[in-house]
């Protein structure tokens, strides 16, 4: 569960027509949120499903289908192959579904070397591609870097996204 807060500072914008009613007041909305999901895994495979936002709400006072925060569904699955004593190969598929938008699929190919270094690539069908690397510093701490770039019409104005990840695994800590 949680709370979503939305604010658009429309009155702060410099507009040509100062009396345009659409820009006179800020839009604010706070709404509750509840999500569900499951994750089933073993040493060789994993599957999961989630709906992180079950309550569909509008972001302004006027009810309009273009202003709704729609319910999203995520389905994930993957498998792990032991290539040899040092290398694992883990392909996966993430499917994202939301009403009014095309289905989105992310295909990821990951290789794990010596249980310490992840190397991988992802492809979001018709949209983006990326590369990443993760280093397992110790049993609980992992550091990673990722870069993805657009393959659609945004590629002319988007130079890509850099991501740095730091992960701590609490397994056995509690």
CA distance 114 to 83: 11
Residue 123: strand pairing partners: 107, 129
Choice between 60 and 165, residue whose per-residue pLDDT is larger: 165
Range name among 40-49, 88-97, 135-144, 155-164 with the lowest pLDDT average: 155-164
Q: How confident is the model at residue 39 (pLDDT cuts 50, 70, 90)?
A: very high
pTM, entire model = 0.74
CB 144 within 8 A of CB 135: yes
Cβ-contact 115, 97 below 8 angstroms: no
Which of 1-5, 66-70, 98-102, 113-117 tops mean pLDDT? 113-117
Say which range, 92-101, 111-120, 165-174, has the weakest mean pLDDT.
Answer: 165-174
Residue 96 confidence class, pLDDT cut points 50, 70, 90 = very high
Cβ proximity of 88 and 118 under 8 Å:
no
- 159: confidence class by pLDDT, cuts 50, 70, 90: confident
Which residues have C-beta within 8 Å of that of residue 113, sequence separation ≥ 6? 86, 87, 119
pLDDT over 80 (residue 52): yes
Cα dihedral 80, 85, 87, 90, rounded to 10, equals: 0
- Average pLDDT score, the chain: 87
- Between CA 123 and CA 105 the distance in angstroms is 8
* Range from 6-20, 47-61, 152-166 carrying the lowest mean pLDDT: 6-20
Task: Give the Cα separation of 81 and 93 in Å (integer).
Answer: 15
Place of tokens 């949209």: 127
DSSP reduced 3-state for 21: helix
- Token readout for 33 is 């949120």
- Check residues 27 and 76 and name the one with the higher pLDDT: 76
Q: How many residues does the chain have?
A: 174
Mode of pairing for the β-strands spanning 117-124 and 81-82: unpaired
Q: What is the mean pLDDT of residues 43-67?
A: 78
């Amino acid at each position: 569960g949680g709370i979503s807060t939305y604010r658009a500072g429309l009155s702060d914008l410099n507009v040509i027509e100062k009396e345009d009613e659409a820009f006179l007041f800020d839009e604010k909305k706070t709404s509750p949120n509840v999500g569900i999901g499951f994750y089933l895994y073993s040493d060789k495979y994993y599957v999961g499903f989630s709906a992180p936002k079950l309550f569909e709400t509008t972001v302004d006072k006027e009810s309009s289908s273009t202003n709704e925060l729609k319910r999203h569904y995520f389905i994930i699955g993957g498998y792990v192959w032991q290539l040899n004593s040092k290398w694992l190969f883990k392909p996966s598929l993430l499917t994202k579904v939301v009403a009014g938008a095309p289905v989105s699929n992310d295909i990821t190919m990951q290789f794990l070397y010596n249980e310490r270094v992840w190397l991988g690539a992802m492809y979001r069908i018709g949209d983006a591609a990326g590369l990443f690397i993760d280093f397992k510093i110790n049993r609980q701490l992992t550091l990673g870097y990722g870069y993805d770039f657009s393959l659609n019409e945004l590629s002319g104005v988007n130079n890509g996204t850099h991501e740095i990840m730091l992960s701590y695994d609490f397994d056995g800590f509690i």
